[in-house]
Amino acid sequence: MFKFLSFLFVILLCLTSQSVKAGCVSEFNNNNYIEAFGLCQKESQSDSDASIEAQFIMAKIYAKGHGVGRDTVQAINYLSQAAQNDHTEAMFNLAMAFELGKGVEKNINAAFEWQLKAAEKGWQKAQRKVAKMYEHGNGVQSSPIEAFNWYKKAAEQGNADSQLELGAIFIQGLSLPGKVIPKDNDKGLYWIRESANQNNVEAQFALASLIIDKKPDEAIKFYKKAAQNGNKFSMHNLASIYLKGEVVEKDLKESKYYAQMAVDVGQKSSQSILDHIAKIENQPDEIINIAKVNKVTTSVKPVIEETPTKVIKTEKVKVNNTSVNSELVTLLENTNYVIQLASMEKQSSVKAFIERHKIKDKIHVLFIPNKHRFIVLSEPKEYLTQARELQSHFNNVLSGSSWLRKTPDILALLNI
């Protein structure tokens, strides 16, 4: 009889332990934070398997101030406990804390170590982070091959951003001492399409731009998805496509719709399409050269291939009593990144620099009035991946270093 009662007592203890575990998690998930705090605090101090999840929840409670006062020190304390007990998401969050210096002293090396631990346990976001850290040499020595390997792991687990990165690598190819990843358009398109199907707007735009000539129907579908997701270049390209009528049947109503949509979100160059349509509507018998309305060229082929940029000769605008190329300014206003190749005081030095490196048809020269200097710029790019690829290209051409700049920083020099 005594043995039987002892057996029942053990079973009762196990059931109680399970109910506390369920109570901690369920109360937190149901936003009952005061109840969750008491349950999770008690459970976090136990020796049960449930304690690790309770530690992680306590970290979130203190970090967000759910039901208690926000306490970063306590949040990091519980987060560290959970991470050291192999809680994968806690590892990732602790890594981000070290990277950003949130609640702890900023330490990029520690950030990489914790990201790597989480990545090795299969945490998708950590795998992408590790890939980017290897790509840029943050917290670890730069290794494009390791970056490729981790992008591949994250992509295979379904990470949409990593799928786009992996697709770009296959389209471009990668050649390093002792390791070559050959160009493979089929693989590249496969991974970009996988990303696009997960509603990654950058992938939708990239895929549409890559297949517009061979698969126009699919390209239009993805341009429209990207436009619905707010991509202004997709809006502009759709407006141009419907105006020209080369890929699909000409449709001024659709063209006007997408051009207006693009202008409304800041794509200033789409105004030329609206103006062109207005001429057609107001003067139906006038012959107008539709070919002058072009698609956005700075972002049509993101992270894929770079075409030589042309020296633009157009009207000038006045900035601080100095003439500046207005079309270049427009390009800078409608993109995010640009590569700076040089900064020089004399125009003759700029000319010699361009001739020496044979880059006349690949750059723009911009005079900065208040600095009394000329800066040599690449074609502006919309996406960071595009800009990095172009920077790598120019570094090879120059046998030196170029600078990745944000276009607003360049415009700020002009007081625009």
Digit-coded pLDDT (tens) for 343-376: 888 888 888 889 888 898 888 988 888 778 889 9
| Count: domains in the chain | 3
Q: Which helix (H) or strand (E) holds 26?
A: helix 2-29
The count of residues in the chain is: 416
The predicted model gives 175-192 an average pLDDT of 85
**322 vs 198, residue with greater confidence:** 198
Whether the per-residue pLDDT at 163 is higher than 60: the answer is: yes
Residue 414: closest CA among 340, 325, 300, 302:
325
pLDDT, tens digit, for every residue of 217-272?
999 999 999 999 999 999 999 999 999 998 889 999 999 999 999 999 998 889 99
Among 138, 170, 191, give the residue marking a domain's end: 138
How many Å apart are CA 360 and CA 350, to the nearest integer?
Answer: 11
Regarding whether 332 and 242 lie in a shared domain, the answer is no
Name the residue type at position 372.
Answer: H
Tell me which of 173-177, 234-238, 401-405 is least confident.
Answer: 173-177
**211 and 263, same structural domain?**
yes
Residue 18 pLDDT? 42
Let me know whether 130 and 16 are in one domain. Answer: yes
- pTM here is 0.64
Q: Considering just the CA atoms, what is the radius of gyration of the chain in Å?
A: 28
Whether residue 324 is found in the same domain as residue 401: yes
CATH number at residue 220: 1.25.40
Do 128 and 37 share a structural domain? yes
Return the pLDDT at 304: 35
What the block records as the tokens of 29 is 């998930």
Reply yes or no on whether the pLDDT at 162 is more than 50. yes
Stretch 279-303: mean pLDDT: 52
- Per the domain annotation, does 160 fall within a domain? no
The per-residue pLDDT for 16 is: 42
Considering 138, 156, 175, which residue would you say is the last residue of a domain? 138
Is 322 a residue whose pLDDT tops 60? no
Read off the CATH number of the domain in which 385 is found. 3.30.70
* Whether 112 and 48 share a structural domain: yes
> CA of 182: how far to CAs of 145, 151, 193, in Å?
13, 16, 19
- Give the orientation angle of helix 50-64 with respect to helix 88-100, to 10 degrees: 30
CATH of the domain at 109: 1.25.40.10
User: Where does residue 122 fall: left (phi above 0), alpha (psi -120 to 50 degrees), or beta otherwise?
Assistant: left
For residue 86, the enclosing domain spans: 11-138
Question: In sequence order, what are the residues at sequence separation of 6 or more whose Cβ sits closer than 8 angstroms to the Cβ of residue 158?
Answer: 124, 198
pLDDT for residue 9: 45
pLDDT for residue 15: 40
The answer to the question of residue 131 being in a domain is: yes
Query: For residue 71, which phi and psi values (nearest 5 degrees)?
Result: -145, 100
Gap between the Cα atoms of 62 and 68, Å rounded: 7
Position 288 confidence tier, pLDDT thresholds 50, 70, 90: very low
Query: What digits encode the pLDDT tens for the residues 22-34?
Result: 589 999 999 999 9
Q: State whether 51 and 129 are in the same domain.
A: yes
Contacts by 82-89 with C-beta closer than 8 Å and gap 24+? 82/52, 82/53, 82/55, 82/56, 83/114, 83/117, 85/51, 85/52, 85/55, 86/52, 86/121, 87/52, 87/53, 87/55, 87/56, 88/118, 88/121, 88/122, 88/123, 88/126, 89/56, 89/118, 89/123
Q: So what's the pLDDT on residue 221?
A: 96
